[in-house]
Structure 1
C-alpha cells in the first residue's frame, strides 16, 4: 500500500489534489484509517493517478476526466480517444503544453494491450414487461448526449445481465440509470447501445401491458411488440463503465416533495450566466443547501455556505420530471461531488448531475 504522500510523489499529483479527487469521487483511496483519516492506495492505482495528473495538466473538465478514467479502466480506447479529441478541438491555439500532454496520452493508449472486445453476443433474445421498459426509457432518455464528436453517448445503453436489464444514458454532465426485469436470457453479460432515434421508435411501441421481445443479432437490435417492431443498427458497446461512475462518496440525504421542490427551483433565485464545465456555455445555476433539519433549500445570491452545491437548474428540472415520483431523495456531497437523485425504495433507478463550478 502507498501512503498519500508516496502517491503524491510518484504520480505528480499533490496531496491536496489527491484529497480533492477523493472527495469528488474520482480517485478513491483503497483504505482510509478510521481513526486518523489517513488515506492509503493500492499499487495498481499509481498508473491511474499518473493518467489523472496528465489530464489535469491539460485543463480537462472534471466531468470528462471521470469518463476518461472509466474508459481507461474498462479498456475502451475508442471512447478515450473520442473524449481526448473532443477536448483538444475546444482548446485555443497556442496551448503547446496541452498538445504535448495529449500526445503522451495517445501514445500510452496505443501501446495498451488487450483492448476490450465488443461484448455484444451474436444472437440474443429476451422478454421484458412493456410497462417497465417504457418507464425505464422515460427515466433515462433526457440524459442522453447530442455531441456529434462523441457519438457513443448519443444513445441508450442496454446492459443485460442475469434477470435484469439496465438502461443508462449520459452526456458527461448528467447520467440516468434505470432497471427492468428480463426473462429468457441466461448468457453472459451483454451490452448494446441503442441510438436515440431507435430508442424513441421502441418507446412508441410500448403502449400495452404485455411483455415485448428484444433481439440482438451482431450489430443489429430489434424490439417486437406483437405484430409491430422497431429495429436498426446499434452503436456497439463502446460506452463508459457506468458502474464505476456511480460509486460516489456518501452525502447528505434529504427527502423532497417533488412538485414543491420543482416550484421552488422555478421561482427561486438563480445565478444567471454562470459558466459551467460544459464547454463554458452559460446557464442558469441554482445553489442548493441541506439545512440542519434535513430540508433542501435554494440559496440566495448572498449565501456563501461552503457546503452548498451549484447545479444547472434546467438539468435538475429535467431530472425531477424524469424521476416520475411524488417524493424523491436528493443526496448532496462535497461542492465538487455529483448530486444524486434517487427514488425512495428503489435502489436500481437514479440520476446523477455534475456540479457547476461557480465563477469567482
Structure 2
C-alpha cells in the first residue's frame, strides 16, 4: 500500500476513529486501527465488538492495500506531525510514515485476525445535523453514569412518523426532547436504547454536513444495531453500535405534570445565582428555593461555616387558588444547573404540584409566553431539613 494525503486530513481522521478504541481491549487485536484503500479514498476503521467507527477521506492512491496498526500510537504520531503532506508506505510487516523530514516506522498487526466489521443497517431516515446535535446535548445530561445499571446509561430513541423523541433518566431526573425528521417511510416507527456516550460523541462530530442518516436494525430482524452516517470536517463518518438490552423505565407520564404553582424567571439570572450560591453547598445537601410573591430566594450552606442566599425577580402563579401548594423546594445543585443550561431559552418555568413531588422545567421565549413543550426536564426534589 502506498498513499499520500494532507496532514490535517490524516490527523483529524485518525483522532476521530481512535476515540472509539477500547482503553483496555479484551484481546490485543482490538487496539488496532484498520486502514483500507479503495479508488481515490482511504477508509480508517476501529471496532471493539460493541461500537464501530469508520471515516472515508480523499487521498492519492499509488498502490492499493489494507493494513492494521496500533491505533493509539498512530493517533499520537499524527497529532505531532508538521504541517506537510504525509506519505504512508506499507508492506506485510511494517508501515513507514513520512512527513517532511519526520519519519516513523510501525509494526503491523495481522489483518486476518481482526474481527469482521458490522454492516450499516438500511436507512431509517435523515435528521438535520445541527438540530440533532442540540437535542442530544439537551438529553444526555440526564442519562445515568453507573455502568452497574446499564439501562439507565442509555438514551431511548423513539421514532413515530416524522417525530423522533429522545428520552433519558438516571432515576433522579428525566429529560425528553422531540424533533422532526425525514423518515424513509411516512409510517416509520421503532425504538432503540443507545449508549449515551456513543450518541453524544457521534452527534457532536457529524455537524459539518446538513443531515445525519439514522439506520436502525431491531432485534426482531437481526442483531440490534443502530448506525449514524454524516459529514465531518475531513470526510464522511459512520458509526454503528449495539443497542443496550433491558426495558427502559416508563417515565413519560412524569412529563405531564398538572401545574399547582409555577415560577417564571430569567434563565441567565438563575444560572448565575445558582452557581454563586452552590459554592457553599455542602455535599449531598439541597440548594433551597424559597418562593415568595414576586421573587424566589436561592439558599445554601455548609453547616455554620458558610451560608449564601440570593433573590431573583420572578413571576409566581398559584393555579389552584388559596394557599400555595409549595413554598420551598430542595434541588440537587448540579441537577438544577444542568437543567437550566440545557433549556437554552431566555426564560424558564418551574412547575410544582406538591412537596416532595417532581418538578417540571420548561423553556420560555418570553416571560409571558406559553411554555415550549418540545423539551421537558423533570427533577426529583430533595427533602429539606426541618
What TM-score range do you get, normalising by the shorter chain? Answer: 0.5 to 0.7
- Using the size of structure 2 for normalisation, the TM-score is 0.54
Structure 1 residues 188 and 211: alpha-carbon distance in aligned structure 2, compared to 1, 3 A threshold: closer
What is residue 163 of structure 2 aligned with on the other side? 164
Greater RCO between the two (CA within 8 Å, min separation 6)?
Answer: 1
Helix, strand or coil at the partner of 1:143? coil
Bigger drift between 125-134 and 324-333 goes to 324-333
Residue 270 (structure 1) shift: 8.2
What is residue 177 of structure 1 aligned with on the other side? 176
What is residue 247 of structure 2 aligned with on the other side? 238
What is residue 308 of structure 1 aligned with on the other side? 328
What is residue 198 of structure 1 aligned with on the other side? 198
Q: Is the 8 Å Cα contact of residues 329 and 384 (structure 2) preserved in structure 1?
A: no
User: In the aligned structure 2, how far is the partner of 1:284 from the partner of 1:336?
Assistant: 15
Residue 236 (structure 1) shift: 4.2
Residue 334 (structure 1) shift: 1.5
User: In the aligned structure 1, how far is the partner of 2:326 from the partner of 2:279?
Assistant: 17
Q: Deviations over 1:282-303 (max 9, x none)?
A: 424111133223x332157799
Segments of 5+ residues of structure 2 without an aligned counterpart are: 1-120, 219-223, 302-306, 310-324, 365-370
User: In the aligned structure 2, how far is the partner of 1:224 from the partner of 1:314?
Assistant: 33
What is residue 321 of structure 1 aligned with on the other side? 341
What is residue 352 of structure 2 aligned with on the other side? 332
User: In the aligned structure 1, how far is the partner of 2:292 from the partner of 2:195?
Assistant: 41
Q: Is the 8 Å Cα contact of residues 271 and 284 (structure 1) preserved in structure 2?
A: no
The structure with the greater share of residues assigned to strand is 2
Q: How many residues align?
A: 229
Report 1:63-212 matches (<5 A): 125-184=124-183, 185-187=185-187, 189-208=189-208, 210-212=210-212
Q: Deviations over 1:177-219 (max 9, x none)?
A: 1111121243364110110231123123332351211001131
What is residue 271 of structure 2 aligned with on the other side? 262
Residue 350 (structure 1) shift: 1.4
Residue 253 (structure 1) shift: 1.7
The structure with the greater share of residues assigned to helix is 1
User: In the aligned structure 1, how far is the partner of 2:289 from the partner of 2:171?
Assistant: 21
Q: Deviations over 1:257-316 (max 9, x none)?
A: 11211122122378844xxxxxxxx424111133223x332157799x962111111110
User: In the aligned structure 1, how far is the partner of 2:279 from the partner of 2:230?
Assistant: 45
User: In the aligned structure 2, how far is the partner of 1:290 from the partner of 1:230?
Assistant: 47
User: In the aligned structure 2, how far is the partner of 1:346 from the partner of 1:175?
Assistant: 16
Q: Is 1:354 matched with 2:380? A: yes
What is residue 118 of structure 1 aligned with on the other side? none
Residue 243 (structure 1) shift: 1.9
User: In the aligned structure 2, how far is the partner of 1:355 from the partner of 1:187?
Assistant: 39
Structure with bigger gyration radius: 2
Indicate the RMSD between aligned Cα atoms, in angstroms.
Answer: 2.6
Q: Is 1:224 matched with 2:224? A: no
Structure 1 residues 264 and 272: alpha-carbon distance in aligned structure 2, compared to 1, 3 A threshold: closer
User: In the aligned structure 1, how far is the partner of 2:359 from the partner of 2:385?
Assistant: 19
